Amino acid sequence: MFKKKNSKMTLEGNAYQGQGKIKEIWRRLKKNRGAMIGLLMLCIMGVVLLIVPLFVSYESAVTQDFSQMLAKPTKEHIFGNDGYGRDIFARIIYGGRTSVGIALLATFFSCIVGSVLGAIAGYFGNAVDNIIMRALDIFMSVPDILFTMAVVYALGASFTNLIVALTLAYFTNYVRLVRSEVLTLSEQDYVEASRAGGANSMRIILSHIIPNSIGVIIVNTTMNVAKIILYESTLSFLGLGMPSPQPEWGQMLSESREFMRNAPHLMIFPALAIVITACSINLLGDGLRDSLDPHLKS
């Protein structure tokens, strides 16, 4: 379908084709109700995370007020207060900014690192491929969570180090994905034709390999953001996230355990925040996958 591109097509032609493809995907995505709901939720969430901090100060998320301890939701504190009397709404907003920020950056870096390694392995093949893939096999033999824990232990928990740890845990997906994409694509007739037509490696990569593999990478990246948000909240639940006074969803849930009996609202709101965020991203990701490859839906 889209993959059948003419090798003699000019760069402008490709650019046009690319645009048409994006339009086509968007047209199909618009028809997908789930994806649209997910996208809408994410937009709302993005706006809330960006705008609300203008009205709610960071202090209200960290100042302890024992007169308000475990207070039920009121007009002033719409989600209530936690075991230290801190405003849960503010903590969820600021925690969300940290979690989503970490997730986006870690996804970005793991995508870059993994894609480059995967492309190198797939494109050069032979010895290079062998070395990269064997090293990756060894790397993947350490379960993610243990490796991340070791990295966080060694480097200490901070915003940057968490991104480093999560990048190291997730780049492996991209290496395998991009490598297999490059391997299948370079065997396609149109790539061979353009090679026969005298196109150099750079040209083939830019005009054939990247445009044709970008879709799969985008779908995976979307799904990965959700996975990293869940994973990051797991780390903070285990006490390996951002250092203590800083709010984070996982850590809020971990703290809510002791008040579960009397104040379940401590547990409900951060749990909902995690689940709704991940759900919306997955909805969008599923929709994107279906609209990129209508075959799968049949």
Partner 1 sequence: MSKYVIKRILFLIPTVIGVTLIIYFVMNLTPGNPARAILGTGVPQADIDAYNHAIGYDLPFLQKFVNYLVNMFFHGDFGISYVTKQPVFQEIWPRYIVTMKLAFTGMIVSTIIGIPLGICAAVKQYSVTDTVSSLISFLLAAVPTFVLGLVLLFVFSLKLGWLPSYGITDWTGYIMPVLAISIPIAAQNFRFTKSSMLDAIHQDYVRTARAKGATEKVVIWKHVLKNALLPVITQIGMNLGLLLCGAVVAEQLFSVQGIGSLIVSRITLKDEPVIIAGTILISICFTIVMLMVDIIYAFIDPRIRAKYTKKRG
Give the binding site for partner 1 (CB under 8 A): 134-135, 137-139, 141-147, 149-156, 226, 230-231, 233-234, 237-240, 250, 253-254, 256-257, 260-261, 264, 267, 271, 274-279, 282, 286, 296, 298
Cβ closest to partner 1, residue 94 vs residue 237: 237
- In whole angstroms, the minimum distance from the beta carbon of 79 to partner 1 comes to 17
Cα–Cα distance between 276 and 73 in angstroms, integer? 20
Cβ closest to partner 1, residue 113 vs residue 149: 149
Cα–Cα distance between 71 and 86 in angstroms, integer? 9
Amino acid in position 224: N
- In whole angstroms, the minimum distance from the beta carbon of 3 to partner 1 comes to 18
Cβ closest to partner 1, residue 25 vs residue 263: 263
Query: Is there a contact between 115 and 270 (Cβ–Cβ < 8 Å)?
Result: no
Q: Is 23 exposed, middle or buried (0-12, 13-18, 19+ CB in 10 A)?
A: exposed
Query: Is there a contact between 272 and 278 (Cβ–Cβ < 8 Å)?
Result: no
Q: How many CB atoms lie within 10 A of CB 201?
A: 11
- In whole angstroms, the minimum distance from the beta carbon of 278 to partner 1 comes to 4
Which region, left, alpha or beta, applies to residue 78 given φ > 0 means left and ψ of -120 to 50 means alpha?
A: alpha
Cα–Cα distance between 283 and 35 in angstroms, integer? 5
Cβ closest to partner 1, residue 178 vs residue 284: 284
Which of 186, 199, 187, 290 is closest to 14 using CA atoms? 199
Amino acid in position 35: A
- In whole angstroms, the minimum distance from the beta carbon of 57 to partner 1 comes to 28
- In whole angstroms, the minimum distance from the beta carbon of 238 to partner 1 comes to 5
- In whole angstroms, the minimum distance from the beta carbon of 142 to partner 1 comes to 5
Cβ closest to partner 1, residue 44 vs residue 142: 142
Cβ closest to partner 1, residue 199 vs residue 267: 267
Cβ closest to partner 1, residue 78 vs residue 260: 260
- In whole angstroms, the minimum distance from the beta carbon of 264 to partner 1 comes to 7
Amino acid in position 130: N
Alpha-carbon 87 to chain mean position: 28
Q: Any idea what the Cα angle at residue 44 is, between residues 39 and 45, rounded to 5°?
A: 95
